[in-house]
Amino acid sequence: MSNFKRNIVILIVFILGWVLLWPAGVYAVDLNGFSLGPPIIDKTIKPGESLEQVFIVNNLSQDAVTVEPYVQDYNVDKGKWNKVKDSDERWSPMKWATIESTPGRLGPGESGQILVKFNIPKDAEAGEHTTYFKTKFVPITNPEGESSAQIAIASELGSLVYIKVTDELGNLNINRSWTLNQAGTGFWHFSKPVFTIKAKNTGNVHLEVKGNIELKDILRNQTANLNVPLFNILPDKDKEIQIPWNEAPFLGYIQGEIQLTYDGKNFEERPFSFLIVPLFTLLGVILILGAVILTVLLYINSLRKRLAEAEGLQNKPKD
């Protein structure tokens, strides 16, 4: 092998080794001249313990900015990332996180460190918990309220944080299971129908339940769908939610199916059928018609009496 070919092979091996062995933590995400790293954090910890993580922020732009870090949990529903609003301390890294220190301000070309501490509760759920550490880089404005920065809007970068919580012995045992006690609605409806879902979490981690309700109006041959909003069930807890069908027809015979899942793969399906009968409206119509008919009958009876009186006067002999 020639020296040239040997050098090429050595260079390729060196590059591959550098790519494969170089720690992932040195990389960072960047946008508009700002960077945040590491982009991915993956930690394993026992309940009751804590961990600290340092994030590096860099201002590679020509302007001064303020640094505003925060932690936010998300869930994915139908391909959309939604902020978690009803998080629980037993499974929410956002609840565990405390920002211990931040540079606050970065001038052009400056770097800084953000220290985040995660305190894991003793009753934390086992499993892999995901959250985002995010940082906003906001242009600094002058006293007149005008930004001196070339970037008019804030830039935001995020790092994905995975925290694997084991049991007290360091084992990662996860059991996801549930009992679906009710999913449907009654047969007779005299107003807008309401679907009721009752479930019990029989596992050891919280469940994120979502689903869909398919509806078919047999009388009109029309279909509709209702979304079951994502909801959480904590371990060994019962949960009940109600979903009204506000666009239900005035009168109809409905058939359909409720589809529910807590893992996005396995679905529980519950068929149903029901009648919508506007009973109170019909009663009102019957009462009104009854009143009208009664009024007409009374009027006819009154006319008969008047006619009889008139005939009596005509037939009365004259003195």
pLDDT digits (tens, 9 = 90+) for 253-266: 999 999 999 988 89
Residue 15 reports pLDDT greater than 60: no
Question: Mean pLDDT across the chain, nearest whole number?
Answer: 83
Q: Are residues 194 and 254 in the same domain?
A: yes
Domain range for 192 is 178-276
Range with the poorest average pLDDT among 28-32, 224-228, 308-312 = 308-312
The H or E element that residue 260 is part of is strand 252-261
Residues 136 and 206 in one domain: no
Q: Which tokens in the block code for residue 171? A: 């084992």
Mean pLDDT of 149-169: 82
Examine the domain organization and report whether 28 and 158 are in the same domain: yes
pLDDT for 294: 74
| Alpha-carbon dihedral 289, 294, 300, 305, rounded to 10 degrees | -170
Region 9-35: mean pLDDT is 53
CATH number for the domain spanning 200: value is 2.60.40.1710
The Cβ of residue 67 has, within 10 Å, a number of other Cβ atoms equal to 19
Instruction: Give residue-wise pLDDT tens across range 171-216.
Output: 988 899 999 999 999 999 988 899 999 999 999 899 999 999 999 9
Q: What is the pLDDT of residue 79?
A: 73
Residues 38 and 140 in one domain: yes
Q: Is 104 domain-assigned?
A: yes
pLDDT confidence of residue 319: 55
Q: Confirm whether pTM is higher than 0.75.
A: no
Q: Is the pLDDT of residue 141 over 90?
A: no
Both 48 and 82 in one domain: the answer is: yes
Q: Is residue 170 part of a domain?
A: no
In this structure, the dihedral spanned by the alpha carbons of residues 31, 33, 36 and 40, taken in order and rounded to 10 degrees, is: 40
Residue 2 inside a domain? The answer is: no
pLDDT at residue 52, as a whole number: 97
> Is the Cβ–Cβ distance between 214 and 223 less than 8 Å?
yes
User: Do residues 78 and 183 share a domain?
Assistant: no
Domain shared by 244 and 305, yes or no: no
Q: Provide the number of structural domains found in the chain.
A: 3
Q: Any residues with CB less than 8 A from the CB of 15 and at least 6 apart, and which?
A: none
pLDDT tens profile 30-69:
888 899 999 999 999 999 999 999 999 999 988 899 999 9
* Least confident residue range of 29-38, 156-165, 219-228, 292-301: 292-301
Is residue 206 a contact partner of residue 91, using CB atoms and an 8 Å limit? yes
Distance CA 120, CA 127 (A): 12
pLDDT value for 150: 53
* CATH number, domain containing residue 91: 2.60.40.10
